[in-house]
Each structure stands twice: as structure tokens, then as C-alpha cells.
Amino acid sequence: MNRRLKRRGLGIFLITLVGMTLGIIFSAARDRMKYVEASMAGDIRQINLYLTNDPEVSVNGFETMDDTEWFFLPYGMTDGEWSVDLPTGTNCLIDGQYYKDGDQIKALDSAADHEIVLGDALGNRLDERVLRVRCAEGVPCIVIDTASGSMDTLNASKENEEGALVKILYDDQSVNYQGIVKMSGHGNSTWSQDKKSYNLTLTEDASLLGLSAQRRWTIISNCMDLSQIRNKLVYDTAVQMGVKDQPTGNYANVYINREYVGVYLLTQNLATENGTQKDFKSTRVETIKPVPTPDEVPSVSTSETDADGLVERYFNQKYNIDDITGDYLLEFQTFGMEVDPDTKYGYFTTPNKLIAIRSTKYADKEEVDYNARLCREAEKAIYAENGINPDTGKSYTDYIDTDSFALNYLIQDFFDRHDYTDGSLFMRKNRGDDKLYSGVVWDYDKAMTDEYYDDIRYDYTHGARLPGWYQTLDDLHPEFHARVVQWYKDKFSDTVGTVISSEAPALIAQMTSSWNMDDIRYGKEEGFTAAYAGEQVEWLSKRKALFDQVWIDGEDSPYARNIY
């Protein structure tokens, strides 16, 4: 009896052992099939490299059309500086050197092609590719990990928002900022491009990459500027010219969910729900009904059209306004905004323009009425031959700060901003001040040498004379034009001269290795962006010589009509 039980027990043990062994074999086979199936979709792309001393900085490989695996790294390579992160159960060979998960790798020559082979624990080759490496030098990086691990939701609509972890590192790998942000899309025409821009909202004010502290930031793709240098040069010039609250920016290589997405310009975001820049204060101190949260959009908006065909759109949400005179950020907008049912901003039309109130969402009737009356009166004075509003008897100089308008017009004219009459052109209305102030300067990706959509080449003599307040001021009022010229003589010529001769060449030298990575990432030849940047600086040098000839030397230039 005991012997039979022992034999039975031994049999059960052997059956169990065989079952376990077969299970392990079948499990291993299934796992191997999983890797083999994965390799058919490009298993090499599951490899990523991470900084040995900071694993949060991790970069996936990027496969190009010629089946080359690229690693675009924010920092250079020395032996052991980067380690390899491999799919579970795999190893790899790079130029015959064996690496397992977590191993530090030897430096790879960026000028050479390398062979990379992905294998499994049984010695099977799962995938093999040509490997190439490019490394940035002297440029910070921004590492973003979205909560979902995907960009599908964010890229579906720029109105969508998602939480993300952000880490910003200087070019020496020291950490500038680390924290949770709210991320959303940014841009108008640029939003339709593959390389998109994004807004980042921090939990509190912080200084990023040496820029003044703020809570709302934008990473600009510059995807419509083939040189990727225009916004940076114009913003820096405006700062040096003293444009109030003018943001500037610093470049960074951006990685989202381990994928290199290119070179971006990090800058402060202009428009917020309650003002722009830190000195703007909300005019709403208490509300009869609370200010809506992003999830509580007022259910009804009203558009009114008067007998002259002028339109006002406001939201049926009554606020208690502490001081109706300001602060406001106003933007000249393109006609067509009035048919957008999702617009969150109040707006109004004048006989010539559509103007949005961008300093607050869901503006009520009182806010829209006040700004509409002021801008309509100002425009009537500006468009009058004598500069006087016939209804009020006031001069255009009573309505606008001519100094800031003359400076902004000079910047638009010199840098040849092709779309300067509509969109991304701002005015401020300060609390307790009767005048409108021009500024800040923004959105110069479509300017200077070329226009993105049909690749028209503009030479340095081109003058974009488009209808609007600024051109009317310059055409009708000689004293305004004289102030534009004086700005140029007194300060602008020297300021932009330094930018052209010193700052721009230094910037190109700093950015070339990063631009080369961006070029490859978006299907261009290495050196494409750097070449365009050099061409842009040459254009600016010729532009300055022309303006100096006419406005400083007083010579009778055959091109004078283009800049007057």
C-alpha cells in the first residue's frame, strides 16, 4: 500500500515535472515568437540610449526611409557616458561589441556608419541595421514625458490638454527645471505641420533657461522658417530696443516620450486668461458668477451687428470689473474668427480690422464695449487726412502712443514681416491710461527672405506694403514717419548692426550641430538649416546697408520707394 502510494506520488511528480518543463519550453517559444514578431515591425527601434548618470534622459532610435537607425543625442559621446536600454530578453552587438541591457557603451564616431544587431538569449538575430549617431554641442535639452505616454490626444486638437513631466537641462547636463506641467497645442498655420509647437503651463512661476520667471511658456517649432533663426533675432533686437515686456527665447533640443522631435525655441507665452507678462493684473476682482474654469465654458455668447455693420461678440457672463480701463492685451486678427464657434475670446470689428481681447477669456459686454469704442475712435483719427477724429475732435496722438507704434512699425518694416496686418500683432491698453500702446513683437517666422507657402524669394529691397493702421500712419502722417526714421538713426541701426555682425554668427556656430539633427529628423540634408541661416544673415546685412543709405546718408536710392 505504501509502496503503491510512493509509486503514484513519483508518477505525479514526473508528470508535473514534464508539464513544467514543457510549459517553460512553450513559454520560451512564445516569448521568442513575441520577439520575432516584434522584430518584423522594427525591433531595433525598441532600443534606446540613456545618460549613464541621468537615466531620465533617454532617447529612442529613429528609423529613416533608407532603413538607417539614427540616435539624435543632446550631448556628445565619450566611453561610458551613454548606456543601452534593451527589450527584455535581448542583447545587441554594435560593431561586433556585445552589450546587454544596462551596459555602458563605447563612444561611436558620428562620421562613420556602424552595424547594430539585435539578438535574443538563444543567439538568434532578430534585426540588424546601419546605425548612425549625431550629437548636439552647446545647446540645452527639454525632456517631456506625457501622462499617457503618447501624443495622440494632444496632436488631435490644440484645445486638448494633458499632464506631463518636464525636465530641462543646460548644455553641461546640470538641471535647470524639473516638475509637472499642463501641455497643449500652440499655433495657427503651423499647427497643421508635422513639427508642432506646444504650450507648457507650470504649477508656479519659474525661470527657464535664464529667461525671466513666468508660469506659461511656449516651445516654438519654427517649422515655417527654413533658417530657424528669424524669431530669435527679431525678439532679441526688440528687447535691446526696449519694447515693453518683450519676450525673447533660448533654443533647446526637445525629446517627447523618448523621441527626438527637433530644435525648438523656448519663450514666454504671450496671452493668458488674465493678462500677459507678470505686471498684467486682472480687471475682475469679484464676479457675480465665478470666472469659468477651463471645463466650464459659458453656454451662450452673443454677436451684435450695428447699423454700420460693425460686430461685437461677448459672452453672457457678467463680471464685476474693478477698473474697466485695463489691463488689456488686444490682437489684430484675421476676418473669419467671427464664424468660429469655439472662439473663447471676445472680439469686435472696426471699419478696417477685427480685434480680439486676448488678455482674458470669455469677455463680457462691458469689456467688449469699452475696447470697441476706444479702437473705433482711434482708427477714425488714424485714417483721417488731418489725423483728427471728426466726431470727438481728438488727434490720433490722443489715442495711441506714437513712440511705441513707430518702433513697432520700424521693426515690421526692416524685418519685412509679410503678414503684419493681421494675427500676432498686439496692442496694450494699460489701466488708468487713455492710450493704446503697440507691442509686443511676435511671430516672425514668415518674414525676410522667403514666404513658406509658395517659396517666393524676397530680396533685401522688398517692401511689404499691406493695408492696416501702421501703413496708414506712415502714409498719411509725416510726423509719424519722421519718428520711425529717428528711431532708426538714434538706436536701431547700431542695435541691429551688432545682432548681424556678432550675435547671429555666434548663434549659427552654436546651433549647427543641433540643426543638423533636426534636418535629418525631418527629411532634409544635413546643413540645410545652417545654410539658410547664413543666407538670412547676408540678407539682413544688405537690408541694413540699404536703410543706412536712405535714412542716415540721405542718398537718393532707386529702392527708396520700398522702405517709405
| One-character DSSP codes across 94-127 | ETTEEEETT-B-----TTS-EEEEEEETTS-EEE
H helices within 464-557, ranges in order? Answer: 469-476, 478-487, 493-498, 504-521, 528-547
Percent of residues, the chain, with pLDDT higher than 90? 62
Q: Report pLDDT for 169.
A: 98
Q: Report pLDDT for 25.
A: 35
Q: Which residue from 332, 340, 328 is spatially nearest to 272, judged by alpha carbons?
A: 328
Q: Which residue from 387, 326, 562, 340 is spatially nearest to 460, judged by alpha carbons?
A: 562
44 contacts: CB under 8 Å, gap ≥ 6: 61, 63, 69, 116, 118, 127, 128, 129
Q: pLDDT higher for 391 or 559?
A: 391
Q: pLDDT higher for 31 or 167?
A: 167
Instruction: Tell me: cis bond preceding 440? Omega within 30 of 0 counts.
Output: yes
Q: Report pLDDT for 116.
A: 94
The mean pLDDT value for 324-343 works out to 77
The mean pLDDT value for 231-251 works out to 94
Q: Which residue has the cell 536701431?
A: 492
Contact assessment for residue 118 and residue 126, using Cβ atoms and an 8 Å cutoff? yes
Q: Report pLDDT for 6.
A: 38
Instruction: Using alpha carbons only, give the angle 358, 362, 364 rounded to the nearest 5 degrees.
Output: 105
Instruction: Tell me the C-alpha distance between 266 and 270, whole Å.
Output: 12
Q: pLDDT higher for 110 or 33?
A: 110
Q: Which residue has the cell 472696426?
A: 350
Q: pLDDT higher for 191 or 86?
A: 86
Helix (H, G, I), strand (E, B) or coil at 10: helix
Q: Report pLDDT for 362.
A: 85
pLDDT band, residue 557 (cuts 50/70/90): low
405-430 residues labelled b (16+ CB within 10 A) or e (exposed): bbbbbbbbbbbbbbbbbbbbbbbbbb
Instruction: Tell me the C-alpha distance between 89 and 77, whole Å.
Output: 26
Q: pLDDT higher for 146 or 14?
A: 146
Q: pLDDT higher for 90 or 8?
A: 90
Q: Which residue from 78, 103, 80 is spatially nearest to 92, judged by alpha carbons?
A: 103
The mean pLDDT value for 393-400 works out to 98
Half-sphere exposure in the Cβ direction for 176 (13 Å, CA):
21
Instruction: Tell me the C-alpha distance between 141 and 263, whole Å.
Output: 9
pLDDT in tens, 367-390: 999 999 999 999 999 999 999 999
Q: Report pLDDT for 291.
A: 53
C-alpha cell at 177: 527645471
For the chain, the average pLDDT equals 85
pLDDT in tens, 182-239: 999 998 778 888 999 999 999 999 999 999 898 899 999 999 899 999 999 999 999 9
For residue 472, pLDDT beyond 80 = yes
| Residue 311: burial class (beta carbons within 10 Å; 0-12, 13-18, 19+) | middle
The mean pLDDT value for 525-547 works out to 95
For residue 316, pLDDT beyond 90 = no
What does the H/E/C string look like for 168-202? Answer: EECCCCCEEEEEEEEEEEECCHHHHCCCCEEEEEE
C-alpha cell at 3: 509502496
Q: Report pLDDT for 271.
A: 55
Instruction: Tell me the C-alpha distance between 180 and 542, whole Å.
Output: 46
C-alpha cell at 210: 535664464
Q: How long a stretch of residues is the chain?
A: 564
Contact assessment for residue 221 and residue 427, using Cβ atoms and an 8 Å cutoff? no
Q: Report pLDDT for 454.
A: 60
What does the H/E/C string look like for 16-40? Answer: HHHHHHHHHHHHHHHHHHHHHHHHH
In 10 A of CB 279, how many CB atoms? 10
The mean pLDDT value for 447-475 works out to 79
Q: Report pLDDT for 67.
A: 84
C-alpha cell at 545: 546697408
Helix (H, G, I), strand (E, B) or coil at 76: coil
Q: pLDDT higher for 245 or 176?
A: 176
